[in-house]
Amino acid sequence: MKTFFLTYGFFCWFIATAALRLVGQYILIPGDETRALVVFALSVLLLLLITVPVYQWKRLNRTEQCFAGIYIAIPGQILDAVTTLYFDIAFPNMPTSTGNQFGAWMLWGYAVIILTGFFPMPRKFPSVIPIFATLLVVLFASAATGQANNKADEQNKRDELRDFRKKMKAYRKIAVYEGGIFGFNRNVSGIVERDFDRLAMRNEKNDELLLAIPYQSIVAVYVGSEGVSQRPDFVKNSTTNNPEYRFAYVSKAKNHRLFVHYRDPKTEVCGTATFRFERFEAAYSMLEQLIVELGMVKQNTVYVRRKFDDKSSAPTSTEEFKKP
């Protein structure tokens, strides 16, 4: 008797595990309490159907019936300890968040199996087909509803992923060069990034260098709006004696342009290069990178490079530069 019921318990466990591996994601769903209650109730009838008829077929007395229930439960309890430990491998289609429902369901099932051996069995097993069919219909209806909810969740995830990609695209430093570099007057579009010791612009495939400004020649940077001229006029400023820092700036709501004022120490060529970004986040990201790497300090609404090698008050971020 012992060998038979141990083998029978392993067989029942194997069938249940195979079924959960295939369709477990439709049976146990986190947060769906109604389905969990239906599954628990349905499992009682299912466990009665796989134990009581076997007890009657073997014509067991009360003591043998108690041991039979324990023998059926032992293989499943031992093996489910392994499947719970390696839940991701045993049930790849089920989210790990269902592990608590799975554990509760298994404990409930083994408790029902053991209890079937402690109660006297009727001579004629009552028909539970109507109850079983009703619960089965409720389970399938719940599964269909859950599948619809899953599709809605998947659509929401796709929408979130699309929004995330749009947001990340906004931070890509793709800009349009609008002039300002001596000898390069045509407008081009490309990726603005650091290239060793220079600010470089490459084509969008990132395989061709379009233009570059050496870091040592950059003296000031700032972000401006569409209403700002590409070449700001120089004005007198009593706070500094350096003429390359003297230019006006008009602030507006949305700032998409990055202005890079440069002065080549070898050729004395100077100018203000303008890069227009699609999103202001990308312009501010490039601005932050430049002021940190070049050790610039804020002067009014412009970040300027120190003439002396004194970076004690150099900013480490653009938090002080309030974005509109």
186 CB-near residues (< 8 Å, 6+ apart):
none
Q: CA-to-CA distance for 231 and 309, rounded, in angstroms?
A: 28
pLDDT for 233? 38
Hey, what are 144's tokens? 């269909």
129-171 and 2-27 are packed helices; what angle lies between their axes, rounded to 10 degrees?
50
* Closest of 108, 107, 87, 110 to residue 97, by C-alpha: 87
pTM of this structure:
0.41
- Write the burial class of residue 69 (CB in 10 Å: 0-12 exposed, 13-18 middle, 19+ buried): buried
**What structural domains and CATH numbers belong to the chain?**
2-167 (no CATH), 174-304 (2.30.29.30)
How close are the terminal C-alpha atoms of the chain, in Å?
Answer: 81
- 3-state SS of 208-260 is CEEEEEEHHHEEEEEEEECCCCCCCCECCCCCCCCHHHCECCCCCCCEEEEEE
What is the pLDDT tens value at each position of the chain, 324 positions in all? 788 888 988 988 888 888 888 887 777 777 777 777 777 887 887 888 888 888 888 888 878 888 888 888 898 888 888 888 888 888 888 877 777 888 888 888 888 888 887 877 655 555 555 655 565 555 555 555 555 555 556 667 777 766 666 655 555 578 889 888 877 888 888 888 888 888 988 888 778 888 889 999 999 999 987 544 444 433 333 334 444 433 333 333 456 889 999 998 888 888 899 998 887 778 888 888 888 888 899 888 899 988 754 444 444 444 444 344
User: What size, in residues, is the chain?
Assistant: 324
